[in-house]
A and B are shown apart, each in its own frame.
Chain A
């Protein structure tokens, strides 16, 4: 595709390249600085996606030490409803305590396939963000989202500075038409978190929309999910109050609720 575009007229291209300032007012050095910044931005988006994809490969095979090395020293990590862990050391402790010591183990499948990333880089090129998802093939199926932040260190390397991985749906082998697993909670398993969850929500068949780090790309408007409309009800599944709450926040032609209530 890139090559096809070379046939576009030189005048149009030159104007497109130079952004806001009139061509005549710019020195060659300024134009080159702008080019450098734009190439760097593409490289940076590439790099943070690479970090996120590598994170996925490490989760798959239980490689917690190299996984923790993807984080900044003061990074935070919050997965599902487990609460917030502070710092790279706690990231490592969380993984090794909750999921066992490092290593690919016989009979264990924990694939966290990473895709659909929306990478963005700050104006100053020091901070990045990704919204992405993973499709989990493990003891069942799972669908976490990510709204992560990344920092470019003095060494020029990008690291995860905040991993926020809210769950959408986890189910067992019967499938999500039959079974929906509750979100996790702080004391569901060791280790305990440093801070409570940033938000309390339920997973499928309820849903929660983690705020988007970017505006609508066409309208330019920020979209802020309304907690009252997203079905983030607070009652446990399977009781009348929860049944009633299934009526809250459903879009008229939405896909929810599912055919059967979840079992715990």
Chain B
């Protein structure tokens, strides 16, 4: 943090305007003003990432405790909220009501709604206005009158900076596995619920998939950190119910697709 404040002060004192693209030049060819501008951008991106990380973690702490009003307030004006196969709710007011489907505002006794958020990979756009973030989401759940549940999923969120403040443009939680507390995954697997009939979503699920025991890979928002290649079309078993075809594994040696990753059954 010491770096950030000291750096910004130097940049501010020099009164230097941003000049994108300077970073491409060799350092020796750059004027001090150009260097400061380039460093300022790099620090801006680090700060953006830190703020997005905090925003998301703060959402999680509200969500855990059923503070739906606080959680919904973190969305952008036309923010989108999608949880599992429940469909998409748009706008803060609709999002808050959708969250009430999970339990009352301020969790009632007997509820446990822990949605831990970790392992984030945040990518801030070069212009610093939008960002994406993938998070791992293990969960500990309980409701009165029912046994506890273990669960896990992946968040693929979009962020937008509105009036200098980072907000959730879209929170999309891909629940991937849920099970009874006392039973192994295969035997205790609990399927996802569909869209609510009581308070229907604004849009159907953006992606139809089944959670465990079905195979599913939530799409990656970021590219491979070493090769830079997009992480799409990763090998994955198919799904007979949703009709999704298998993406077979094709070894680099050209021996052809592997049958093991073929369609389910």
Contacts and interface: CB of A to CB of B under 8 A. Distances in A.
Nearest to B2: A16
Contacts of B50: 2
A70 B183 CA distance: 35
Interface in B189-233: 212-217, 220, 222, 224-227, 229, 231
Contacts of B260: 100-101, 103, 105
B9 A14 contact: yes
A227 B215 CA distance: 42
Contacts of A13: 5-6, 9
Interface in A64-81: 65-66, 69-70
Contacts of B39: 32, 35-36, 39
Interface string A21-39: 0000000110110011011
B138 A137 contact: yes
Interface string B165-209: 000000000000100000111100000000000000000000000
B5 A8 contact: yes
A162 interface: no
Overall SS of chain B's interface: mixed
Nearest to A36: B39
Given A39-B3, A39-B46, A111 B121 contact: no
Nearest to A92: B252
A157 B235 CA distance: 25
A35 B40 CA distance: 10
B221 to A, nearest CB: 11
Contacts of A28: 32
Contacts of A105: 215, 237, 260-261
Given A6-B9, A157-B225, A43 B42 contact: yes
Contact of B249 (A36, A47, A102): A102
A51 B225 contact: yes
22 contacts: A2-B50, A13-B6, A14-B10, A16-B6, A17-B3, A36-B27, A36-B35, A38-B3, A39-B46, A47-B225, A51-B225, A57-B136, A61-B234, A63-B235, A69-B224, A69-B226, A69-B227, A108-B215, A113-B118, A113-B138, A114-B136, A157-B225
Interface of B: 1-10, 13, 27, 32, 35-36, 39, 42-43, 46-47, 49-50, 118-121, 134, 136, 138, 150, 152, 177, 183-186, 212-217, 220, 222, 224-227, 229, 231, 234-237, 247-249, 252, 258, 260-261, 264
Given A8-B5, A13-B6, A137-B150, 16 more contacts: A1-B1, A6-B5, A6-B8, A10-B13, A32-B32, A43-B42, A65-B252, A101-B260, A104-B236, A113-B138, A113-B152, A139-B185, A157-B225, A158-B226, A173-B183, A173-B184
